[in-house]
Amino acid sequence: MRRTVDDSPATLAIREGTVTAGSQQAIAPESAASKTSAVRALSLGKHIDDRAILDEIDLDVPMGRFVALVGPNGAGKSTLLHAIATLSPATHGSLALFGQTVHRWAGAALRARIGMIGHQSMLYRDLTALENLTLFGRLYGVDAPGERAAELLEKVRLSDRAHDPPKAFSRGMVQRLSIARALMHNPDLLLADEPFAGLDVPSTRNVEALLAQLHGEGKTIILTNHEIAQSLRLSEQVVVLRGGRVVLDRPASQVDVDAVTREVMA
């Protein structure tokens, strides 16, 4: 029987308020595949006009890991995600995705393993939800994109709005559809850039549940977020960026909200 958003262990854990770094470990047990790095950045930097947006970033994200990137505005969180997605290539250092070194732009095969939820929905407001999903599915060469789109619309609980355009949706619905778009090609790595921004509490819970469920399915997730407590609750590893540099990189179970807040505010 297909597991839905509502009955997954991750969702239940969130509903019961029991999602912690420890429980996440239980949801996504270590496997042989997790030994491989999904993302490995060495001295990664992005300089624009002698200004370092990212500086000497070292980051290792094993397969299946849920990482939260936190930091103040302008710390470089989104830039780092864009660099990992190869949308905006780094100018210094090296980046490897799934063990393959990335040269400026990733090849098509490598990009096909990445899904991204950005600040913006990346959805065409004049196409229906179903058309948006099938368009991206076809671009990725997904088999039976219509069926996959229907499956994902059910997963994000938008089946009844499949033929409506995103411009008729609430912010929370757009965000859920955006997640479905990012998952159309079943990526191994999901980059979520502030997916909770502007969401009300029920929508936030929905998106949290979706991310937790995806992590439970073994996806590697890198999330940027301003909510420290939420980040610690959802993730296994917390990375604090400040001034374009990594100032803290710890398992979520080994830090608390105060410690992370101190690093963010320092």
Partner 1 sequence: MSRAWRQLLLLIGKDLRIEARSRQTMGLVTVLGVLILVVLGLGLGPGKVPSGPSGTVLLWVAYLFGGVLCFEKTMAVERQDGTLAGLMLAPVDRGVLFAAKLITNLLLIAALAVVITAVGIVLLQFDLSGVLGPFVLITAMSLLGFAAVGTLFAAAVSSTRLQGGLLALVIFPICLPLIIASTQLMVRLAERPDEVGAGGYLILVAFDAIYLVMSWLVFELLLEP
Binding site for partner 1 (CB under 8 A): 82, 85, 87-88, 108-109, 111-112, 114-116, 118-127, 131, 135-136, 138-141, 166, 181
CB closer to partner 1, 3 vs 119: 119
| Closest separation in Å from C-beta 107 to partner 1 | 8
Q: Is the dihedral of CA 149, 154, 155, 157 positive or negative?
A: positive
| Closest separation in Å from C-beta 190 to partner 1 | 12
DSSP 54: E
Distance in angstroms (rounded) separating the CA atoms of residues 227 and 233: 10
CB closer to partner 1, 131 vs 151: 131
3-state secondary structure of 224: strand
| Closest separation in Å from C-beta 28 to partner 1 | 24
| Closest separation in Å from C-beta 252 to partner 1 | 27
| 183 within 8 A of 215, measured Cβ to Cβ | no
CB closer to partner 1, 31 vs 105: 105
| Closest separation in Å from C-beta 66 to partner 1 | 21
Distance in angstroms (rounded) separating the CA atoms of residues 50 and 221: 31
| Closest separation in Å from C-beta 147 to partner 1 | 18
Distance in angstroms (rounded) separating the CA atoms of residues 157 and 173: 9
| 20 within 8 A of 27, measured Cβ to Cβ | no
CB closer to partner 1, 121 vs 231: 121
12 CB contacts (<8 Å, ≥6 apart)?
none
CB closer to partner 1, 99 vs 141: 141
| 235 within 8 A of 252, measured Cβ to Cβ | yes
Distance in angstroms (rounded) separating the CA atoms of residues 123 and 17: 32
For residue 81, give the H/E element and its range.
helix 77-84
CB closer to partner 1, 189 vs 234: 189
Which of 191, 60, 188, 66 is closest to 122 using CA atoms?
191
| Closest separation in Å from C-beta 237 to partner 1 | 24
A 10 A CB-CB count for 150 gives: 16
| 199 within 8 A of 170, measured Cβ to Cβ | no
CB closer to partner 1, 1 vs 109: 109
